[in-house]
A and B are shown apart, each in its own frame.
Chain A
């Protein structure tokens, strides 16, 4: 690093970190409640994870090991550039292995591997307010949270059932935290919702453009909203992962050609690589080896 480009550790100045740290502590004390904070401009556009980056920068220390994932993958643009950012401004150790990380910043997935105590999951959140598409006024949504008035959300889910015969919300599926606040789990697939419930890891959510921080402490009730006769269900897949043969994981569809060829692979690249290293093989992996 040359003299011109020397930053404070982890880019943010200390006053900003203190302000974000205070917001994080209050967020942990009120699970699911969105704490307003004075979001800063970061050297990346809003919508690229500035909220998550500010939270990570405020908690990060020299002893941490950072993992960054984007839709489960360690090697996509957003993950690579945020990882490189923290290597540059904090000189922090990075990893792609879920087990080794102390802080995992994520965009829209929770790793398949169960997180453990001592790990912190930092979500990048685009729109933190679960009621925003139902009620555009902040003054009103704030009042609804204050009065615990969540009828509108149930009406929305009911309308899904009336139109489609089932709850058609597949991502950013609303949850109720500790029986009090309805929270947007960020646009993770609803497949990941059960992993938030009673998680051993601390979960922090940062929304940079919308200037909100919220949190779910470890061992906290996180219940997906549903109805008695239409219980919450997660997605299921017909086929296992084409590369590692994993079932019960979230799969991405990859188009292979213009003749309808496609494959389904783990969205969590670390999990997939781990399984392949252990000798698991899906049907397309086997074919690739035969061709070599």
Chain B
């Protein structure tokens, strides 16, 4: 059983300005995919959720946004922490979730199991917040698309091998599709559905 202090502590010290600052990092991150943002405002959610992922939850989730959690996160103090600090309902249905949180090193389900939105309302799709080992030092992918001048490189470490396959499939159903926030500690990288990723040829 989670201790009380784990559940009630660890939110933003200054909620209004912290949420604004985290949101601006997310907005800049989605507007310039692949850029690594270090969050100034941090949170300390219960393990295994990390600081940046917790900050995203505090910034964007509320009673309007059902949240899906991996089995490991569901068993931790995270559901109670999210419920207390954001009021967001936790759902077991991936297609109902507006946000999904995935901790480090877990195999995640295919993106098409989450809500992709509809052709009429592609905005009604899940945003996945995935914790990875590191945002640098992994296999180098080239990224192209809106927000990227010519092309940029993303080298996230700790994504499963099927990631590129999942992502290409997600890109193919545009304008539907999920959007990703990859987090590592207090840093994050955003990948909107418009970003095209490919393995960099050596």
Contact = CB atoms under 8 A, between A and B. Distances in A.
A82 interface: no
A8 B62 CA distance: 18
Interface string B1-41: 00000000000000111011101101110111000000000
B123 A180 contact: no
Contacts of A22: 60, 65, 98
Contacts, number: 108
Best-surrounded residue of B64, B146, B175, B179 (most CB of chain A within 10 A): B146
Interface in A10-45: 14-15, 17-19, 21-31, 33, 35-36
Given A24-B27, A25-B179, A220-B146, A30 B123 contact: yes
B183 interface: no
A156 interface: no
Interface string A114-147: 0000000000000000000000000000110111
Given A26-B179, A178-B146, A21 B23 contact: yes
B147 interface: yes
A208 B192 CA distance: 25
Interface residues of A, number: 40
Nearest to A139: B120
A285 interface: no
Contact of A219 (B19, B119, B147, B192): B147
A218 B32 contact: yes
Nearest to A29: B192
A25 B26 contact: yes
Given A21-B59, A35-B123, A217-B31, A28 B192 contact: yes
A19 B64 contact: yes
B166 interface: no
Contacts of B194: 29-31, 178, 217
A10 B9 CA distance: 27
A14 B19 contact: yes
Contacts of B15: 14
Best-surrounded residue of B15, B64, B118 (most CB of chain A within 10 A): B64
Contact of B17 (A61, A143, A145, A218): A61
Given A28-B192, A29-B192, A219-B148, A146 B60 contact: no
A114 B98 CA distance: 37
A28 B62 CA distance: 21
A261 to B, nearest CB: 47
Contacts of B62: 15, 18-19
B21 A61 contact: yes
Contact of A142 (B61, B120, B179): B120
Contact of A18 (B60, B120, B122): B60
A281 interface: no
B89 to A, nearest CB: 15
Interface in B41-86: 59-62, 64-65
A62 B192 CA distance: 27
B146 A8 contact: no
14 contacts: A9-B16, A9-B17, A14-B19, A22-B98, A23-B123, A28-B27, A30-B194, A33-B123, A35-B123, A36-B121, A59-B20, A59-B23, A146-B119, A221-B146
Given A28-B31, A28-B147, A219-B146, 16 more contacts: A9-B16, A14-B19, A18-B62, A19-B64, A25-B60, A27-B123, A29-B30, A29-B179, A29-B193, A30-B192, A33-B123, A59-B24, A60-B20, A62-B17, A178-B194, A181-B175
Interface of B: 15-17, 19-21, 23-24, 26-28, 30-32, 59-62, 64-65, 98, 118-123, 125, 127, 146-149, 174-175, 179, 192-194
